[in-house]
Structure 1
Amino acid sequence: MKKPCIVIACIAVLFGCNLRQQPAGDVNIERIIQADEEPENWMSLGRNFMQHHHSPLSQINKDNIKSLGFAWQYETNSNRGKVNRGLEATPIVVDGVLYTSGAWSQVYAVNAKTGKEIWRYDPGVDGNYARRTCCDVINRGIQVWQGKVFIGTLDGYLIALDAATGKELWKQDTFVDREAFYTITGPPQIAKGKVVIGNAGADFGVRGYITAYDLETGDFAWRFFTVPADSTHKQADEAMKIAVPTWDANSLWQAGGGGTVWGELAYDPHLNLLYVGTGNGSPYPLWIRSPSGGENLFLSSILAIDPDDGRLVWYYQTSPGESWDHTSTANIVLADLSINGKTRKVLMQAPKNGFFYVIDRVTGKLISAEKYVPVNWADSVDTRTGKPSISNQAWYKDSPRYIFPGPVGGHSWQPMSYNPNTGLVYIPTHDIPFVYSELPGYQFAPRNINSGVITNAVPLPEHLKIYAEGWPAHEGDVLKAWDPVKQKEVWRVHLPSRFNGGVLSTSGDLVFQGTSSGYLNIYKADTGEKLNEIYTGTGMLAAPVTYTVDGEQYVAVMAGFGGSFLPIPNGATALNKYKNTGRIIAFKLGGGETPLPLPQDRVTKVPAPPDAVLEESQIRRGEDLYNQFCARCHTTMGEEHLSEIPDLSLLPKHLHDDFINIVLHGKLSFYGMAGFSDVLSQEDANAIHQFIISMQKHRYERQNTGNEIR
């Protein structure tokens, strides 16, 4: 009876129908190392341990890309209430199953061929943590390993799920201080039998660190702090002995220092080194954070850490004395490059500060660093010392300064891709300068933004335009192909929209990038010629992936605009036409038309404001409080903006009636509108309400006289 089964199985294999049943999520180090032998899968955030964000698949190629069309979609339905949040994760595909994460740290497993849901997991994140985020309630990815799916949740838990069922296996609290405004938005990384997770929150005044846990049990393994806790040598580890002398003993220690780790980490199993990019200082200005100066290690640095024990092996700091939000949390790419006739094991990063770094990943020695976007905070980087020559333009202590790049960075978290065939790195860049000025009278304020600066993006207010005189015009977003050996640009594509998506390259001689305006663009990898564009109607920030099922190649991307740009007016986004419906969209050759989301149904008529007695002094006080506590999410009322966050000058009567319960007591905290009773009194809330009513009254009167424009 057994022989016929064997024959049938053999015939099935010959005809390409693989009946071998792999355990769900069966990823291990051998499969990751040999990822090119399984091009049908995408088993880590960057596909292989080198984190190239490149696929050797070529069924979809430059010759047939015009026939790429819609295959399937999966709506994530991860929103709470009517606010549609951003989707930023790079999916992982293992043996025909696509795993990924969405808003509020939800996790999805779907059939990679059909998009049919296998399971979904909702960790039930505390909605109050939305207040603790700089950049929306997003999540940038999961890891799949040995039958488990690992997710770091916004409210600080590292959770292991069963890859087959989504059942929770273990859960660990990763936060050292639950009163501090920590969050997790970045993905975990697997290294030597451990799962490592960082955190976000530097803008709110926290001390960065990463923590490692046992893959099987979730037991704590080790923790590495990225900055000192104070000026003493109470810290026993060698890393802090290196860092402490680079800080003023009288530093603003209560502000935490910053240095949070919220980007993609990389692991080299051959060298057994974990590469970690660290974040900005808290507050930004060095002269406030560390009054007598200093390099302030390990802010804005790349660290090589031994995952066995958390020991620092080497470090390289990209922005000594970090004062510009120039994080080094952009994705790290590993490669073996031929440089001056010698093969070098390198890592490459294009951090926010505008220099493209090629570093020996064995020793940490700088090989080269050149400007990949316009830069004026530094003139160059000395390859002998590894240090930048910081210009006078960088320091805004005494007067505002027009600085390239701004806090958005020359390149932020959206993954760049390295194509070993062309030898090019494809970088989603930003050419967006800012005017920086010190926040007058800054004092550390727990549970609030603690940047210590005012930043104004272009186009500048009239009174700040004087600071931009004499400097070149900015270009906005540009997709660039960069030669990392010659350190020069090969081609560029200017994008009319802002804050666009991460990049995928393939051996089909293709480069894929989604845009905030709702297009999936496909370019020729060697020249940048646009070969196709597919309109989805949904803005994209995430990087696409590609894989095959049953011999057919697919390209999939998470579509959903948001992140730090969720509340920012941006007329170039797809939000002006369609609802920001979060979904995974997959494409294949011979596919159909991509279904568009439902049309927007935004409120265009200003409701009648409450009949309240308004006092000018209260309105002015309320405006100050609004700008301090509310405007970060709710933007400027009355402007023509496309934010998913409600415009408070359009509040209906029932929300005005419940204003105090909402603002102070968190009645809507489940939806992300946390209560502020810890920092606002009832008198404060009343003053804010007066300001909002005054704005609504003004708009209502203009509307009724025919002057309101939206």
Structure 2
Amino acid sequence: MMGEAATAMARTVRACVAPMALGLLAACSVGARQDTQREPSSAVDTMLGDEADGANWPLYGRTFSANHFSPLKQIDTSNIGQLGLVWSYDLPDTGSLYTSPIAVDGVLYFVQGYSILHAIDARTGKLLWKYDPQVWKVAGVKQRAAWGSRGIAWYDGRIYAGTIDGRLIAVDAKTGKLDWETQTTEGPNDGRYITGAPWVFRGKVMIGHGGSDFNPVRGYVSAYDAKTGKRAWRFYVVPGDPKKGFEDEAMAMAARTWTGEWWKVGGGGAPWNAMAYDPKYHRVYIGTGNGGPWNAKVRSPGGGDNLFLSSIVALDADTGKYIWHYQTNPGETWDYNAAMDIELTTLTIDGKPRDVLLHAPKNGFFYVIDRATGKLISAEKFVKVNWASRIDLKTGRPVENPAARYPGPEGAVVMPGPMGGHNVQPMSFSPLTGLTYIPAQDTANFYTDAGVDRQHWKPVMGRMGYNVAITFAKPPKPLPKRETFLLAWDAAKQRAAWRVPLPVNSGGGVISTGGNLLFAGSSEGRFIAYDARSGKTLWSFDAQAGISSEPITYTVGGQQYVTVLAGYRGIVDGSPWDYRTQRRRVLTFAIGGKAVLPPAPEPQKKQFVDYAGFALDEAKAGQGEKLYGASRCTSCHGVALQAGGMAPDLRESGIAGSAEAFAQVLHEGLLREQGMPAFPELTSQELEALRHYIVRTTRKAASGADEGPHDEELRH
């Protein structure tokens, strides 16, 4: 059902909504322009849209198409064996490297931890400048969103980055001095934070935010003037309180797909990651977040599609006005956000070229969508899926398994789980092979809302455990084993071309090149080059640390370089990497490189603290176990204290032995500057319960009887 003109938007909205009966629409277009290609606004935009010139990697996905592909072919399948390390640069021991670098005119830029920007000479590895936005001073409770910044952008001589306290900052690319900053969120207590990369186009910089898993948040995306930081437009993902009116007709349309009083629990939809700019149609596409809370029966108790959750939404790049949308999960209830990559290309389908958008979100289906109209072309499972049997191509809607919505107290095991068939690690589309390369996984989760008071449930503002309205109960039987793999997917034929198993712990993103190569880092500490046509491993390098980052490739003085950041940031899956001993480095390679890393330290046996004389109270330890999960400690310190590299292993720290020191760190925020957030809301009784849980867990580990991941772990 397609509108014919933007000026007839209100009439089209009514036409779209009429048959929905509480929201049965998978896709709708309002004023979709068939061809509105414009001349680039500047030489900068020309460069950012140039797919043929691989000299620079200025954006998160390299160019506007966001394909994470480089045409460079100086390094190829025939000479990859000659690739060697040119230089390395050691980084401080604190801060996540769950991020992607960029490179422009021979300078490498990246962030570490809480958006601390670095500029390094890409040829020599010399630090040119560093800028610290001092997030720890102002973030408050938002410092607990410890993912770090996942990427940055270059535009017209400035480096743009978001911060978890909600700022968008612009720094002079030559000097490292702040040009401007603006607060994109609505204050220190609004529950929003930024981890995603900014997206730039035609004099604007666009940013979203996260937070709807943890707080009652209404998602939005905003665009700002790239020179001044003045806001140009904002698009809300979900409607607010109808009594206050709607910002535009799109929100009025969306409101008809919600029931109950959704605005009191936030609604969700935070667009925290994937976006793209389309020069041909002068549009931006945003991938929107899951529902807040996850449980649709609480969020929208009378049913409904809940637009624009879990959707690809096309907006006018100048105004932010709605053009079309495609919703992957109407009435989303599993944390199946659509915030994974949005990649733009042209495919030959039924003998004709089609401008398409490629999308492989958490829900396990690979989508090919027409960019002009928003119409679904095809969708097939790329991992194990049981929540739906297929996607109906006539309606664009999934054919769901009703049992997957956990209707009764027995709950349901659903595949994929909230970690998704494809998560935040970037995938890559190669126009040479026609294949999309996906860091994919088979996962499952047990969902139940048994014991949840659906009628009176309320989110808790500032609670950094999940505000999901789902009980994190143990499944009735063990979940299917998680399997992780690199998948080559033929989007035109909607089938797998090849598949290579990967370590269970998640690694970094993948890029493809004109040399028919794929580069990716592994959680085991290997930086690997694969043959893009077969998946065969052609080369690998011992990085001496796990890799969460996406590599990039670029040229300096006519020579092709490849750079990756090494230093593992485990989340909840554990890892062999220790926070204090693993190296965090920038590694840069080229053909003929002869540099070598210093010998890696020998693996150290865990030195568990001996809490001699500590009188353990099992009841307090049980309370502390629940609090450990609810307070989001797991995100950094790991399930059952088995830290994955982001933070110290508390079983070795001894911090729990002193009530005074423990309170200074957790309650007073003594180590905020080192990345340890403060928890001023914790009572003395709660602090004591956490101490007992740490002691109990440490003692069991020392005796060889690890507690294991059975506490209230985060399953995200």
Into which bin does the TM-score normalised by the smaller protein fall? 0.7 to 0.9
Letter in 1 for 2:594: G
Moved more, 616-625 or 537-546: 616-625
On the 8 A contact 1:669/1:675 being kept in 2, the answer is yes
Q: Which residue of 1 aligns with 2:687?
A: 685
CA positional deviation for 1:451: 2.1
Residue deviations 1:12-48 (CA, integer Å, cap 9, x gap): xxxxxxxxxxxxxx97111122341x32222322222
Residue deviations 1:552-606 (CA, integer Å, cap 9, x gap): 11111122211xx3353235xxx16993332221111122365267537767333
Which one of the candidate residues 401, 407, 410 is aligned to 2:412?
401
Rounded Cα–Cα distance in structure 2 between residues aligned with 1:641 and 1:600: 19
Letter in 2 for 1:91: P
Letter in 2 for 1:33: G
Letter in 1 for 2:62: R
Residue deviations 1:80-104 (CA, integer Å, cap 9, x gap): xxxx443133322211112222211
Letter in 1 for 2:436: V
Which one of the candidate residues 90, 99, 104 is aligned to 2:100?
90
Residue deviations 1:202-238 (CA, integer Å, cap 9, x gap): 1112111111111111112111111112244611311
Q: Which residue of 1 aligns with 2:123?
A: 113
- Structure 1 residues 585 and 636, CA, compared in 2 at 3 Å: closer, same or farther? closer
Rounded Cα–Cα distance in structure 2 between residues aligned with 1:578 and 1:652: 14
Residue deviations 1:44-85 (CA, integer Å, cap 9, x gap): 2222221111111111111111111111122332x5xxxx44
- Structure 1 residues 68 and 649, CA, compared in 2 at 3 Å: closer, same or farther? closer
Q: Which residue of 1 aligns with 2:24?
A: none
CA positional deviation for 1:709: 11
Q: What secondary structure sits across from 2:109 in the alignment?
A: strand
CA positional deviation for 1:269: 1.7
Rounded Cα–Cα distance in structure 2 between residues aligned with 1:157 and 1:412: 25
Q: Which residue of 2 aligns with 1:6?
A: none
Scaled by the length of structure 2, the TM-score of the pair is 0.86
Residue 530 of structure 2 corresponds to residue 514 of structure 1? no
Letter in 1 for 2:666: V
On the 8 A contact 1:281/1:323 being kept in 2, the answer is yes
CA positional deviation for 1:423: 0.8
Letter in 2 for 1:223: R
On the 8 A contact 1:475/1:494 being kept in 2, the answer is no
- Structure 1 residues 687 and 99, CA, compared in 2 at 3 Å: closer, same or farther? closer
Which one of the candidate residues 660, 663, 680 is aligned to 2:663?
660
Residue 602 of structure 2 corresponds to residue 585 of structure 1? no
On the 8 A contact 1:432/1:474 being kept in 2, the answer is yes
Residue 287 of structure 2 corresponds to residue 280 of structure 1? no
Which one of the candidate residues 447, 466, 476 is aligned to 1:464?
476
Residue 126 of structure 2 corresponds to residue 123 of structure 1? no
Q: What secondary structure sits across from 1:266 in the alignment?
A: strand
Q: What secondary structure sits across from 2:135 in the alignment?
A: coil
On the 8 A contact 2:296/2:332 being kept in 1, the answer is yes
Letter in 2 for 1:452: A
Residue 33 of structure 2 corresponds to residue 33 of structure 1? no
Rounded Cα–Cα distance in structure 2 between residues aligned with 1:634 and 1:30: 41
Q: What secondary structure sits across from 2:251 in the alignment?
A: helix
On the 8 A contact 2:572/2:639 being kept in 1, the answer is no
Q: How does 1:540-551 map to 2 (within 5 A)?
A: 540-551=547-558
On the 8 A contact 1:181/1:201 being kept in 2, the answer is yes
Rounded Cα–Cα distance in structure 1 between residues aligned with 2:491 and 2:67: 13
Which one of the candidate residues 211, 221, 229 is aligned to 2:240?
229
Rounded Cα–Cα distance in structure 2 between residues aligned with 1:636 and 1:194: 39
- Structure 1 residues 581 and 615, CA, compared in 2 at 3 Å: closer, same or farther? closer
- Structure 1 residues 494 and 607, CA, compared in 2 at 3 Å: closer, same or farther? closer
On the 8 A contact 2:641/2:697 being kept in 1, the answer is no
On the 8 A contact 1:85/1:582 being kept in 2, the answer is no
Letter in 1 for 2:271: V
- Structure 1 residues 612 and 249, CA, compared in 2 at 3 Å: closer, same or farther? same
Rounded Cα–Cα distance in structure 1 between residues aligned with 2:187 and 2:483: 38
Letter in 1 for 2:489: W
CA positional deviation for 1:320: 0.9
On the 8 A contact 2:411/2:450 being kept in 1, the answer is no
On the 8 A contact 1:128/1:673 being kept in 2, the answer is no
Rounded Cα–Cα distance in structure 2 between residues aligned with 1:65 and 1:112: 20
Which one of the candidate residues 142, 146, 157 is aligned to 2:156?
146
- Structure 1 residues 372 and 165, CA, compared in 2 at 3 Å: closer, same or farther? same
Q: How many residues align?
A: 658
Which one of the candidate residues 319, 334, 339 is aligned to 2:344?
334
Percent identity, aligned pairs only, is 39
Which one of the candidate residues 493, 510, 520 is aligned to 1:503?
510
Rounded Cα–Cα distance in structure 1 between residues aligned with 2:285 and 2:275: 6
Q: How does 1:221-300 map to 2 (within 5 A)?
A: 221-232=232-243, 234-251=245-262, 253-300=263-310
Q: How does 1:469-484 map to 2 (within 5 A)?
A: 474=481, 476-484=483-491
Rounded Cα–Cα distance in structure 1 between residues aligned with 2:598 and 2:140: 29
Residue 371 of structure 2 corresponds to residue 364 of structure 1? no
Residue 594 of structure 2 corresponds to residue 552 of structure 1? no
Rounded Cα–Cα distance in structure 1 between residues aligned with 2:388 and 2:700: 46
CA positional deviation for 1:546: 1.0
CA positional deviation for 1:535: 1.5
Q: How does 1:152-163 map to 2 (within 5 A)?
A: 152-163=162-173
Q: Which residue of 2 aligns with 1:453?
A: 470
Q: Which residue of 2 aligns with 1:178?
A: 188
Which one of the candidate residues 553, 562, 574 is aligned to 1:569?
574
Q: Which residue of 2 aligns with 1:20?
A: none
On the 8 A contact 1:537/1:577 being kept in 2, the answer is no
Residue 197 of structure 2 corresponds to residue 187 of structure 1? yes
Which one of the candidate residues 422, 426, 430 is aligned to 1:411?
422
